[in-house]
Amino acid sequence: MDKKNIRVFFEKKDRAIYISHLDLLRTMQRALKRSGLPVWYSEGFNPRIYLNFPLALSLGTEGVREPMDMAIVEDVSFEEITEGLNSACPEGIRIVSAAYPVHPNKDIGFAEYETLFSGNTEALKAAVSGYISRESIKVMKHSKKKGMIEVDIKPHVNILSVSECENGIKVTLRLPAGNELNLNCAVFTESFLEYCNSCEVVAELCCAKRTNILCADGTSFE
Amino acid sequence: MENLREKIEKLLLKVKSPSRYIGGELNSVVKDKSKVDVRFAFCFPDAYDVGMSHIGMKILYSLKNARENWWCERVFAPWTDFEELMRENHIPLYGLESLDPIKDFDFIGFTVQYELCYTNILNMLDLAGLNVLAAERNENDPVVIAGGPCVCNPEPLCDFIDLFVIGEGEEVNIELMELYEEMKKSGEYTKKAFLLRAAGIKGIYVPSLYNVSYLEDGRIEKVVPVCDGVPEKVTKRIIKDLDKVFYPESFVVPFSEIVHDRAVVEVLRGCIRGCRFCQAGFIYRPFREKSTGTIVNEAKALCESTGYEELSLASLSTSDHSDIEEMLTEMTGYTEGERVNLALPSMRIDRFNKNLMEQLSKVRKSGLTFAPEAGTQRLRDVINKNIDEEEIMSACRTAFEGGYAGVKLYFMMGLPTETDEDIMGIADLAKRIADLYFNMKNRPRGQKLSISISCATFVPKPFTPFQFEPQISIDEINRRQKLLLDSTKGKRYINVSYHNFRISILEAALAKGDRRLGAVIKRAWERGCKFDGWDEMYRYDQWVNAFADTETDIDFYSHRAMEYDEVAPWDHLDYMIDKSFFVRENKKAKEGKVTKSCREACSGCGVNKASGRECFG
């Protein structure tokens, strides 16, 4: 059988959120090795289990449905892949599903996040309104060519909902993702906390979670 | 109250490589603490990346956790960024499995692999919320123990440690913990009573039960037990049958990259060689091997449980295994099929051949490293390296023919009897290797020749024929390093690197030190010294101040020759090698006479008598 590309979706939570992107690659390679699945190895001088993550997840952010691409060289069912990998994954990482990839990586356009902030609910809600209704939202960003530069992220921050939750508020939002323009969720959370600080609202980030990855046309990345 | 885990998690995103501080790695052992009777905090006094690479910790971790009612956890020294946050937020040092403070454990055990981690031991005790001084700790505080190669001279650590485990740990650790469990259950336990009874276990050294007296000139007069029931000499423990000793079927697999990130099987213990500078070559005697079958089975189990893509066959000299060819054939039969890279870290030049090299480069080609240790044959004979130039050349030729265009060579500087000729000999040897390369018709094409010379400073160590030797002075080391650099000038294919010699001087003093160095170590730690083995962290000036503050002369320890009949700080510990053998070997070194390997002829070190087993046959 020729190699077949497979895309699995996994969740990354609890202590696994502290696994960096580079370490995740090694962690998954080892899990695949332990699983005994008939995976495809890259060719060349140092053959390695082929793995690719279409969109990196930053350290400290939970993932609900993170894609990982791999390839197999023998016929195995999607269930066998899911179960095989789950039996070998460390705590906090669980495979949700496996399928043939539908979209190429370049189709990725957005990602959706859920963030929880603790503090006074009313004050926090007002802060979100204040934060987003400004003319511009300036943040400092590291640029490869120019060093630290100031950019306006307001056109890119799309707040979907603000709701009350235990000890604070839940904010869901959509940010651009992919090769063209990628905005890390931490850029939003940090600038929001900074804003809270400037208007003397006590706030603390409790959790940041990527809930889905979308194509540029708004459909789910599959 | 906020639990410790929440407090820790709040800080993790502020530090480098946070997965080191939160546990949850594959194969880590988590137990229900309500069903556990004895809790052991296994501490490696260095960063996670270093400690997690250590094979002894993996063995003892699995061994202790095999008991249902014992729980052994891993603890490492937090890097300075996290330490600062821990102190600010009042987070005490905790075990990675339970995330509970180790102050509440029954045992805190340190493995002491090198002298430069001593200040980290103090720092970890302090971070745990304990007094660093054993005499100042309370009845209810954990029993603080230490083992590992450095405790062959544990004297500089006596102020801080309740008891030392001398020799190999697999059996004696169990006996010690059983005694503890029994005394706790019967209600007989007091720390004092426990230490006294522990001193009766073979291989346990309780320093507070010995008195040291000194001569007027500062040397030791004698070391005597303070009461009956305490042995005059503590003899190290060994495992008689290595083939049957416990070996873990799984390792904890870290998320972040560590120094030795691979599966490791220990193939043999001890060494047949007797290089006169090498402490490991003597303190781990007698030579014992695992059988090929055992090694292959252990390797398979480990690779399967960890998913590692690299396997290392570790020992002091893996190519000295009597069945090495067959073992490699069987091993590569497995590793090739599994696409696992096989690493043989300790290869002797004279055992390196085409067959070995081909086995090694079957899956992935890693670099080749040889250790001639000295630049001239005369000096190689003095240190009993038992390698001649033809063997070095032949190994390099094989490597070049096999497609390698680079070799790394390890040397030592400041060896006893060394002259300028020996230093320049290092450069000459590198040049002759280069000549060999350039004159070869079938040398690898399209690659540039690279000869890396890595030069350490000689450190005299206890339980070696060179234990009597002084280290050369800083000025002299400096001069010889310059000499080597000058002699390799203009040769772009030669690359010379050094160890920081200011670190080597401290290493010598701590290695050969006595109990009076405890005050110096404590002072250095108070002055902020930690991670002394890390170049960027080492504070030589603070160590100099610590010696001055305590009115201790570092030269007395590192630069003074010891008499053969002088009482050494470690003479009350018996590593099964006769002191008269070390004296004999020291004299032979001065005469430039070599001693054959144990397999060729018994050199009469005494280990066969002491251990009650023949080394061969």
Which B positions 289-328 lie with beta carbon below 8 A of chain A?
304-309
* CB nearest B12 (choices: A18, A33, A92): A18
Please compute the mean of the pLDDT values over residues B245-253 and round it to a whole number. 96
Q: Which two tokens stand for residue B520?
A: 């110096």
Is the pLDDT assigned to residue B1 strictly greater than 50? no
Which chain B residues are closer than 8 Å to A48 by Cβ? 309
Judgement on whether residues A86 and A135 belong to the same structural domain of the protein:
no
Q: How far is B26 from chain A (nearest CA, A)?
A: 5
CATH number at residue A34: 3.30.70.580
Helices B501-511 & B517-526 angle (0-180, nearest 10): 140
Judgement on whether residues A189 and A117 belong to the same structural domain of the protein:
yes
Q: What element of type H or E holds B452?
A: strand B450-457
Alpha helices, H only, B559-603: 579-590
Q: What span, in angstroms and rounded, lies between the C-alpha atoms of B299 and B320? A: 19
Do the Cβ atoms of A20 and B304 come within 8 Å? no
- The pLDDT of residue B65 is 98
Q: How far apart are the first and last CA of chain A?
A: 24
Judgement on whether residues A160 and A97 belong to the same structural domain of the protein:
no
Residue of A100, A16, A94, A88 lying closest to A59 (CA atoms): A16
By C-alpha distance, the chain B residue nearest A30 is: B307
Q: What element of type H or E holds B9?
A: helix B4-12
- The pLDDT of residue B366 is 56
* CB nearest B304 (choices: A34, A46, A91): A34
**Final residue of a domain: which of A85, A101, A117?**
A101
Do the Cβ atoms of B255 and A14 come within 8 Å? no
Please compute the mean of the pLDDT values over residues B265-290 and round it to a whole number. 96
Best B4, B6, B12, B19 residue to mutate vs chain A (most A CBs within 10 Å): B19
Displacement of CA B531 from its chain's centroid (Å): 15
Alpha helices, H only, chain A: 21-35, 78-86, 121-132, 185-198
- Given a contact cutoff of 8 angstroms between Cβ atoms, the answer to whether B176 and B165 are in contact is yes
DSSP-derived pairing of the beta strands B220-225 and B210-214:
antiparallel
- The pLDDT of residue A27 is 96
Judgement on whether residues A89 and A111 belong to the same structural domain of the protein:
no
Do the Cβ atoms of A15 and B306 come within 8 Å? no
**Final residue of a domain: which of A101, A125, A145?**
A101
Judgement on whether residues A124 and A202 belong to the same structural domain of the protein:
yes
Query: Could you tell me how many CB contacts below 8 A there are between chain A and chain B?
Result: 64
Best B15, B48, B309 residue to mutate vs chain A (most A CBs within 10 Å): B309
Range of the domain at A11: 4-101
Q: What span, in angstroms and rounded, lies between the C-alpha atoms of B368 and B451? A: 11
Q: Amino acid letter at B156?
A: P
Rounded alpha-carbon distances, angstroms, from residue A89 to A20, A50, B259, B306 = 16, 17, 23, 11
Please compute the mean of the pLDDT values over residues B212-221 and round it to a whole number. 97
Q: Out of A45-49, B111-115, B242-246, B505-509, which region has the weakest mean confidence (pLDDT)? A: A45-49
- Given a contact cutoff of 8 angstroms between Cβ atoms, the answer to whether B109 and B41 are in contact is yes
DSSP-derived pairing of the beta strands B234-235 and A138-143:
unpaired
Judgement on whether residues A87 and A177 belong to the same structural domain of the protein:
no
Judgement on whether residues A13 and A84 belong to the same structural domain of the protein:
yes
DSSP-derived pairing of the beta strands B406-413 and B369-373:
parallel
Q: What span, in angstroms and rounded, lies between the C-alpha atoms of B338 and B70? A: 35
- The pLDDT of residue B346 is 64
Cα R_g (chain A), whole angstroms: 20
Residue of A70, A33, A17 lying closest to B263 (CA atoms): A33
Long-range residue pairs from B83-86, CB within 8 A, at least 24 positions apart, any chain: B83/B123, B83/B127, B85/B11, B85/B14, B85/B15, B86/B11, B86/B127
Do the Cβ atoms of B364 and A45 come within 8 Å? yes
pLDDT tens-digit map of B535-576:
999 999 999 999 999 999 999 999 999 999 999 999 999 999
Q: Of all residues in chain B, what percent carry a pLDDT higher than 90? A: 85
Residue of B491, B407, B405, B401 lying closest to B446 (CA atoms): B405
Residue of B358, B454, B451 lying closest to B398 (CA atoms): B358
- A142 φ, ψ (degrees, to nearest 5): -85, 125
pLDDT tens-digit map of B373-431:
999 999 999 999 999 999 999 989 888 888 888 888 999 999 999 999 999 999 999 99
Which chain B residues are closer than 8 Å to A19 by Cβ? 19, 255
Do the Cβ atoms of A34 and B12 come within 8 Å? no
Judgement on whether residues A79 and A150 belong to the same structural domain of the protein:
no
- Given the structure tokens 């400041």, which residue do they identify? B414
Do the Cβ atoms of B255 and A46 come within 8 Å? no
Total domain count for chain A? Answer: 2
Identify whether A135 is part of a domain. Answer: yes
* CB nearest B24 (choices: A23, A41, A90): A90
Displacement of CA B10 from its chain's centroid (Å): 35
Judgement on whether residues A92 and A132 belong to the same structural domain of the protein:
no
Judgement on whether residues A182 and A144 belong to the same structural domain of the protein:
yes
Do the Cβ atoms of B23 and A34 come within 8 Å? no
Rounded alpha-carbon distances, angstroms, from residue B73 to B42, B63, B108 = 6, 12, 10
Q: What span, in angstroms and rounded, lies between the C-alpha atoms of A32 and A37? A: 7
Phi-psi region of B615 (alpha: psi -120 to 50; beta: other; left: phi over 0): alpha
Domain B262-366+576-617 has CATH 1.10.1200.10: no
Q: What span, in angstroms and rounded, lies between the C-alpha atoms of B274 and B286? A: 11
Q: Amino acid letter at B566?
A: E
Question: Would you call the peptide bond into B286 cis, given omega within 30 degrees of 0 as the criterion?
Answer: yes
Which B positions 224-253 lie with beta carbon below 8 A of chain A?
253
- Given a contact cutoff of 8 angstroms between Cβ atoms, the answer to whether B153 and B462 are in contact is yes
Q: What span, in angstroms and rounded, lies between the C-alpha atoms of B248 and B62? A: 6
Q: Which two tokens stand for residue B574?
A: 């018996």
Identify whether A220 is part of a domain. Answer: no
* CB nearest A92 (choices: B12, B24, B257): B24
pLDDT tens-digit map of A10-38:
999 999 999 999 999 999 999 999 999 99
- A221 φ, ψ (degrees, to nearest 5): -75, 120
Complete DSSP assignment for B227-259: STTS-SSEEPB--S-GGGS---S---B-SS--T
pLDDT tens-digit map of B568-597:
999 999 999 999 999 999 999 999 999 999
* Torsion over CA: B34, B35, B39, B42 (sign): negative
Which B positions 386-415 lie with beta carbon below 8 A of chain A?
none
Q: What span, in angstroms and rounded, lies between the C-alpha atoms of A159 and B198? A: 66
Q: What span, in angstroms and rounded, lies between the C-alpha atoms of B105 and B125? A: 12
Identify whether A94 is part of a domain. Answer: yes
- B262 φ, ψ (degrees, to nearest 5): -165, 170
pLDDT tens-digit map of B32-83:
999 999 999 999 999 999 999 999 999 999 999 999 999 999 999 999 999 9
Find the chain A residues whose C-beta atoms sit closer than 8 A to any C-beta of B.
14-16, 18-20, 22-24, 26-27, 29-34, 41, 45-49, 59-60, 88, 90-92
Q: Amino acid letter at B233?
A: K
Is the pLDDT assigned to residue B88 strictly greater than 50? yes
A142: which residues sit within 8 A by CB, 6+ positions away? A148, A149
pLDDT tens-digit map of B128-185:
999 999 999 999 999 999 999 999 999 999 999 999 999 999 999 999 999 999 999 9
Partner A contacted by B286 (CB < 8 A): no
Do the Cβ atoms of B24 and A16 come within 8 Å? yes
Which ipTM value was assigned to this complex?
0.90
Partner A contacted by B377 (CB < 8 A): no
Q: What element of type H or E holds B185?
A: helix B169-186
Q: What span, in angstroms and rounded, lies between the C-alpha atoms of B551 and B474? A: 20
Burial class (CB within 10 angstroms; exposed 0-12, middle 13-18, buried 19+) of B435: exposed
Do the Cβ atoms of B19 and A92 come within 8 Å? no
Average pLDDT, chain B: 94
Identify whether A146 is part of a domain. Answer: yes
B391: which residues sit within 8 A by CB, 6+ positions away? B349, B350
- The pLDDT of residue B581 is 98
Phi-psi region of B274 (alpha: psi -120 to 50; beta: other; left: phi over 0): left
**Of how many residues is chain A composed?**
222
Q: Amino acid letter at A106?
A: K
Domain boundaries, chain B: 4-235, 262-366+576-617
Judgement on whether residues A14 and A54 belong to the same structural domain of the protein:
yes
Do the Cβ atoms of B13 and A60 come within 8 Å? yes
Partner A contacted by B257 (CB < 8 A): yes
Which chain A residues are closer than 8 Å to B255 by Cβ? 18-20, 23-24, 26-27, 90
Report, as ranges of residue numbers, the positions in chain A whose pLDDT lies below 70: none
- Given a contact cutoff of 8 angstroms between Cβ atoms, the answer to whether A107 and A214 are in contact is no
In this structure, the number of other CB atoms found within 10 A of the CB of residue A171 comes to 25
* CB nearest B25 (choices: A33, A49, A90): A90
* CB nearest B339 (choices: A22, A41, A45): A41
Which chain B residues are closer than 8 Å to A31 by Cβ? 307
- The pLDDT of residue B442 is 82
Judgement on whether residues A84 and A141 belong to the same structural domain of the protein:
no
Identify whether A114 is part of a domain. Answer: yes
**Final residue of a domain: which of A101, A119, A138?**
A101
Residue of B299, B289, B300 lying closest to B323 (CA atoms): B289
Q: Amino acid letter at B159?
A: D
By C-alpha distance, the chain A residue nearest B19 is: A18
Q: CB-side exposure of A53: number of CA atoms within 13 Å? A: 18
- Given the structure tokens 């190699």, which residue do they identify? A3
Strand order of the sheet with strand B143-147?
B70-76, B38-44, B107-111, B143-147, B163-165, B204-205
Q: Amino acid letter at B21?
A: Y
Which B positions 425-454 lie with beta carbon below 8 A of chain A?
none
Cα R_g (chain B), whole angstroms: 24
Do the Cβ atoms of B255 and A60 come within 8 Å? no
Q: What span, in angstroms and rounded, lies between the C-alpha atoms of B516 and A105? A: 65
